[in-house]
């Protein structure tokens, strides 16, 4: 059965005004899921107009507590319809239920709950008189919603990453226009039904479908009535969006690519380090911006680590996404698989030892047309090989030995990216010392993807601009006014 994926504008699911559609196929086996209705420039204009009008309507009249209650209702409704969200996400991405039911869908709900609570508990800024130089004045800060927020999303964790932005945006009183990835239109569309069901006013949440340049992505990010653009995706796309945002001086929040290091010291609990690296390199078929594609292992445990990591990778189970024992789904598309396989070939050309993987698994006739790929471990590449320096976004990592702490910090930082790192050690002093020297926005010690949604999330260097999470999200989703009262 095929489904239509409509735009969601002013509380109504609608086809595109010029009748254009494109196919949505599942990467599991290439079957058609349904047709996506592409938004025209006029549709994007209508969505932005609906968002602007909502800011002047009943939405603006809600107290923070009332808005917070509505967002809790959104979260509860996602939970109530979690089977539908699960089915939609699995069809779009092919990811196994073991991931989608533990990570994607529960986080979709949690992203509303956390920010609904955060905005009720933000302390305001207040400086009593006198000022430090003796003036008779008291100062306090006001915060107001930024306005119409464009939310441009990738395909790897569609509901999770969209709601990570929509949750705080709405909690702060903004209205949003979401542009989901063309690869994963389903859960953003379904969320429109949830918004209507719980009574979020029309126009507060809008969805426009389409592509980037010459399509909904460009129409939205160049629209003059958008006040801020929050984007997650590739660094090159972020650069284009930043350029678009400069016209009209709109602010941007950018969460982009990474080439994240994992560092394993010889004193680490090796079982934990192996299990953690299996997750950080291969979870979601390696399509996680925080994933580890470069692993540095202290020489005394290098051979054992590589052997144990490769054994885990070789034992990976593929297949039916609804089987709870399936560990790995396909990549998002055959086109993306071709890109990842180019790196697999490049590794061989550059002289890598392919410890395991390197190709396409046999998943049987049922899934023969899907975008399946083997988890892959390499050793022996030069530090300047493209495989070691460029983001691949597949289930693969290069493992390299190191001898000293200074050496590994220099290797880890030798990248234009600065998103995340993972350090495995039982030496507490070393853990803190190394974490403080790594040029990343997020550093995990003896864990990976352990998330507290109140903390600052984002990257430095080419990995992004700004931080989201907890009160940090308020920096982007609100404007502040300082009131100075002369006494
Ligand atoms: P992408 O940049 O190709 O696309 C992301 C979104 O931008 C899509 O909705 C796309 O249609 C839209 N888009 C593309 N060109 C545009 C343009 N010129 N103007 C406006 N919109 C445009 O990214 P992707 O392939 O969907 O996702 C994978 C990338 O995302 C990887 O690089 C990954 O590291 C990154 N990512 C980063 C984070 C993070 O939090 N830092 C999280 C997830 C993914
Ligand atoms: O956990 C999050 O909040 C988050 N933004 C995760 C990003 C994962 C990237 O693929």
Q: Are 289 and 218 in the same domain?
A: no
Rounded to the nearest angstrom, the distance between the alpha carbon of 151 and the centre of ligand 1 is 11
Q: Which residues line ligand 2 (CB under 6 A)?
A: 156-157, 161, 164, 288-290, 451, 457
Q: How far apart are CA 216 and CA 9, in angstroms?
A: 13
Q: Are 298 and 205 in the same domain?
A: no
Q: How far apart are CA 486 and CA 138, in angstroms?
A: 7
**Number of structural domains the chain divides into:** 2
Q: Nearest bound ligand to CA 167?
A: 2
Rounded to the nearest angstrom, the distance between the alpha carbon of 451 and the centre of ligand 1 is 22
Which atom number of ligand 1 is nearest to the Cα of residue 419?
A: 41
CA 224 → CA 221, 253, 367, 429, 441, distances in Å? 8, 17, 45, 51, 31
Q: Nearest bound ligand to CA 163?
A: 2
Strands 396-402 and 417-418: unpaired
CATH number of the domain that residue 195 is part of:
3.40.605.10
CATH number of the domain that residue 296 is part of:
3.40.309.10
Which atom number of ligand 1 is nearest to the Cα of residue 181?
A: 9
Write down the residue that tokens 């396409």 correspond to: 360
Rounded to the nearest angstrom, the distance between the alpha carbon of 484 and the centre of ligand 1 is 42
What's the pLDDT at 3?
Answer: 87
What's the pLDDT at 1?
Answer: 54
Residue 293 located in a structural domain: yes
- Against a cut of 0.85, is the pTM above it? yes
Strand spans (E) along 299-369: 353-356
Environment class of residue 485 by beta-carbon count within 10 Å: exposed (0-12), middle (13-18) or buried (19+)? Answer: exposed
Q: Are 314 and 248 in the same domain?
A: no
Strands 292-298 and 396-402: parallel
Q: C-alpha dihedral over 292, 298, 303, 307, to 10 degrees?
A: -30
Residue 450 located in a structural domain: no
For the chain, how are helix, strand and coil distributed in percent, rounded to 5? Answer: 40, 20, 35
Residue 346 located in a structural domain: yes
Q: Are 12 and 90 in the same domain?
A: yes
Residue 454 located in a structural domain: no
DSSP state of 95: -
Rounded to the nearest angstrom, the distance between the alpha carbon of 468 and the centre of ligand 1 is 17
Q: Are 274 and 157 in the same domain?
A: no
479's enclosing H/E stretch is: strand 478-486
What's the pLDDT at 188?
Answer: 98
Q: Is the CB of 177 under 6 A from ligand 1?
A: no
Q: How far apart are CA 82 and CA 261, in angstroms?
A: 34
Residue 147 belongs to what domain range? 3-256+461-486
Q: Which ranges of the chain have pLDDT less than 70?
A: 1
Q: Are 131 and 220 in the same domain?
A: yes
Q: Is the CB of 152 under 6 A from ligand 1?
A: yes
37's enclosing H/E stretch is: strand 32-37
Q: Are 9 and 123 in the same domain?
A: yes
Q: CB neighbours (10 Å) of residue 451? A: 15
Q: Are 212 and 354 in the same domain?
A: no
Q: Is the CB of 275 under 6 A from ligand 1?
A: no
Residue 72 located in a structural domain: yes
Q: Are 115 and 203 in the same domain?
A: yes
∠ Cα 323 328 332 (to 5°): 110
Environment class of residue 365 by beta-carbon count within 10 Å: exposed (0-12), middle (13-18) or buried (19+)? Answer: exposed
Which residues are designated catalytic? 255, 289
Q: Are 155 and 286 in the same domain?
A: no
Q: How far apart are CA 345 and CA 284, in angstroms?
A: 22
Contacts of 139 (CB under 8 A, 6+ apart): 125, 126, 127, 131, 482, 483, 484, 485
Residue 227 located in a structural domain: yes
Paired tokens of 88: 């939609």
What's the pLDDT at 73?
Answer: 99
Q: Are 238 and 375 in the same domain?
A: no
Residue 453 located in a structural domain: no
Per-residue pLDDT reduced to its tens digit, 319-369: 999 999 999 999 999 999 999 999 999 999 999 999 999 999 999 999 999
Residue 455 located in a structural domain: no
∠ Cα 271 274 279 (to 5°): 125
Paired tokens of 91: 């069809």
Q: Are 207 and 273 in the same domain?
A: no
Half-sphere exposure of 275 (CA within 13 A, CB side): 7
């Amino acid at each position: 059965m095929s489904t239509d994926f409509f735009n969601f504008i002013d509380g109504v699911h609608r086809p595109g005004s010029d009748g254009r559609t494109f196919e949505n196929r599942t990467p599991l086996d290439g079957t058609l899921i349904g047709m996506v209705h592409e938004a025209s420039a006029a549709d994007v204009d209508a969505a932005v107009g609906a968002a602007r009008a909502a800011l002047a309507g009943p939405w603006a009249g809600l107290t923070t507590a009332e808005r917070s209650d509505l967002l809790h209702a959104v979260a509860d409704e996602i939970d109530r319809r979690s089977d539908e969200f699960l089915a939609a996400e699995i069809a779009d991405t092919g990811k196994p239920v073991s991931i989608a039911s533990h990570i994607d869908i529960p986080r979709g709900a949690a992203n509303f709950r956390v920010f609904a609570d955060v905005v009720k508990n933000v302390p305001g800024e207040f400086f009593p008189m006198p000022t430090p130089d003796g003036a008779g004045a008291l100062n306090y800060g006001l915060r107001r919603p930024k306005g119409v927020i464009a939310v441009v999303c990738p395909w790897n964790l569609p509901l999770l990453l969209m709601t990570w932005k929509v949750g705080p945006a709405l909690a702060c009183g903004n209205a949003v226009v979401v542009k989901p990835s063309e690869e994963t239109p389903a859960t953003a569309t379904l969320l429109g039904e949830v918004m209507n069901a719980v009574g979020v006013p029309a126009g507060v949440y809008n969805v426009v479908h389409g592509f980037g340049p010459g399509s909904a992505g460009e129409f939205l990010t160049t629209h003059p009535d958008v006040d801020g653009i929050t984007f997650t995706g590739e660094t090159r796309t972020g650069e284009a969006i930043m350029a678009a945002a400069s016209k009209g001086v709109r602010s941007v929040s950018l969460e982009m690519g990474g080439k994240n290091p994992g560092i394993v010291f010889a004193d680490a609990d090796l079982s934990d380090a192996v299990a953690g690296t299996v997750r950080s390199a291969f979870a979601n078929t390696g399509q996680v911006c925080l994933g580890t594609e470069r692993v540095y292992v202290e020489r005394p445990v290098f051979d054992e680590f590589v052997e144990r990591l490769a054994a885990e990778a070789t034992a990976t189970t593929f297949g039916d996404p609804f089987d709870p024992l399936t560990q790995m789904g396909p990549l998002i598309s055959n086109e993306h698989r071709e890109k990842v396989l180019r790196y697999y070939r490049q590794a061989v050309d550059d002289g890598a030892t392919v410890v395991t993987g390197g190709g396409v698994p046999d998943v049987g006739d049922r899934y023969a047309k899907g975008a399946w790929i083997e988890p892959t471990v390499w050793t022996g590449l030069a530090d300047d090989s493209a495989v070691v320096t460029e983001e691949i976004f597949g289930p693969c990592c290069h493992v390299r030995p190191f001898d000293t702490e200074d050496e590994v910090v220099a290797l880890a930082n030798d990248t234009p990216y600065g998103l995340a790192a993972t350090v495995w050690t039982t030496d507490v002093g070393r853990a803190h010392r190394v974490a403080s020297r790594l040029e990343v926005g997020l550093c995990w010690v003896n864990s990976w993807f352990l998330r507290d949604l109140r903390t600052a999330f984002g990257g430095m260097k080419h990995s992004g601009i700004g931080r989201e999470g907890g009160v940090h999200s308020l920096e982007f989703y609100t404007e502040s006014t300082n009131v100075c009262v002369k006494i």
